[in-house]
Amino acid sequence: MYDLVVIGAGWAGFNAALKAKKSGLKVCLVERGEIGGTCLNRGCIPTKSFIASAKIYSLIKKSAVFGIDPGSPLIDFNRLKERKEGLVRILAEGMRSRLSGVDFVRAEASIISEGRLEIGGSRVDTKFTLIATGSVPAGLEALKFDGERVISSNEALDLDFLPRSLLIIGGGVIGCEFAGFFSALGSDVTIAEKLPSLLPGEDRDISRKMETFFKKKGVKVITGTDPLSSDLGVYEKIVVCVGRRPDTAGLGLDKLGIKFSRGIEVDDFLMTGLNNVYAAGDCTAKRMLAHYAAYQGETAVENMLSGNKRRAAAQAVPSCVFTDPEIASVGLSEEAASVSGIQVKVHKFDFRASAMARVSEEAEGFIKIVSRNDSGEILGGCIIGPRATEMIAVLTVAICAGMDVERMRQVIFAHPTISESLHEALS
C-alpha cells in the first residue's frame, strides 16, 4: 500500500515524487518511457543543447568584430547530436540518483478505481494518485506525420544530417526555436504561421521584432496564410509545430468519471472528479511549461497532505523563448491590461543604450515593463535581447513581491551588466 502513486516521471511527476518523499510519504513513481519525460528527452534540454551549439557557431562567424580571426568553422552535425544525447544521459542519471527512497517503476499504468491501479500487470493500492503523463506533439489532419519527410519536433531532434531546406509549420515557441537553430546552421528555413503574427500570445512589439530578426537572418516568414495552400514539394523536411496535446492514452479515464476537455479537468486544487486522484502538468492543458508543471506537481502533493488546501494559481509564471535573441515575458502585457481596462504606464529601454550589450555585440532588442498607472505596482514585462531568459526572474520576483516602480528604482544593479537595463527601463 502506497501513500502516493505518481503516473509519469516528467517534470510534474518527478518533482511531486520528491516533494512527497521529503514529506515522509511512501511513493511509487511509474514511467512507461524515459525518466524526465518530454522536457529532458524530447523538449527543453535537447533543443537548448542544439541552440547553444548554433549560438557558438554564430558567434565564431562574427568573431572578427572582436579582433579574432575565426578561420573557417565547420559543423559536425553528428557531434552536435552526440553532445545532446550525452547531456540527456548525464541529467537522467542525476534525476535517478535523487529518487533514492522512491520506488521507480518502468511500466504502463492504468487507474482501475479510486485507490487502485494496475502497474505492469500487477494490482497496486494507494491512498492518493497523481496523473502527470505530459503531452505529445499535435498533428494536422491534412498533413499527417510520416516520420520521414513530415515530422514532429521529436523526429527533428533525432535527425542525422542538416536539411538543406525545411518548412516549419507553426510560429509559436517551438517553431521559432527550431527556425532559429536550423537557420543559424545554414538550412534554408521558411516558418509559416496561420495567425497574423509569430508568437501568438506574446507582446505585439515582441512578435514584430522577432519577425524582423528572422528576416534579417534570411528566414522566410509567412503569416496570416494557411501554409498547406503553398507548394510543399520544394522542402526537404516539413516540421509540424502546431502545439501539443495531453497524453492520456491507456489511463482508462473514460470509465472513471474523470472529465476531459482540452486536458484532464481539475478543480482549483488540482483534484480530478475522482476522489484522491489529482492531475498536474501538461496533461491538464493549463500552461504547457516545465516549470509550471513542477509547481503544479508540488502544489498537488501539498494539497493531499493539508486540510487547508492551496489554490494552484501562481501569481506570475515566466515564459521563455530560446531564440537568438532570447525572448521572455511574465505577468500582464500591455495589450492584456488594455483589454482588462487597467490604466498602465509602459516603461521601455533599448539595448542599444546598454554598454554591456554593446561590448558583447548584442545590442538589438528592448525591455518593456508595465506598471499600474495609479500606484506604480509592477504588473508585467517582456524582454527581447541578451540574457532575456535569465533577467525575467528579476521581474518575476518583483511581481510576486508586489514591488512598485519606485522600490525597484532603489535597487542597486551592478555596472556594467545586462541586468542593469531593467533599472534603466524604470529610470
Q: Is 347 a catalytic residue?
A: no
* Cα radius of gyration (the chain): 23
Q: Give the side-chain half-sphere CA count within 13 A for 236.
A: 12
The Cβ of residue 285 has, within 10 Å, a number of other Cβ atoms equal to 19
DSSP class of 374:
T
Distances (CA, A) of 288 to 209, 320, 327: 24, 12, 17
Place of cell 508568437: 199
Residue 23 DSSP one-character state: T
DSSP 8-class letter at 354: -
- DSSP letter string, 127-184: EEEEE---EEE--BTTB---SSSEE-HHHHTT-SS--SEEEEE--SHHHHHHHHHHHH
- Grid coordinates representing 239 are 516540421
Q: What cell was used for 340? A: 482588462
Q: Which of 317, 332, 327 has the alpha carbon at shortest distance from 388?
A: 327
- State the cell numbers at 123: 494490482
Please check whether residue 382 is in contact with residue 421, taking contact to mean a CB–CB distance below 8 angstroms.
Answer: no
**Is the Cα dihedral 413, 417, 419, 424 positive or negative?**
positive
User: Of the candidates 5, 2, 4, 14, which has an alpha carbon nearest to the alpha carbon of residue 296?
Assistant: 14
Listed in sequence order, the DSSP H helices in 350-404 are 355-359, 388-400
Cα–Cα distance between 367 and 325 in angstroms, integer?
Answer: 12
DSSP 8-state symbol, 229: G
Annotated active-site positions, please?
A: 415
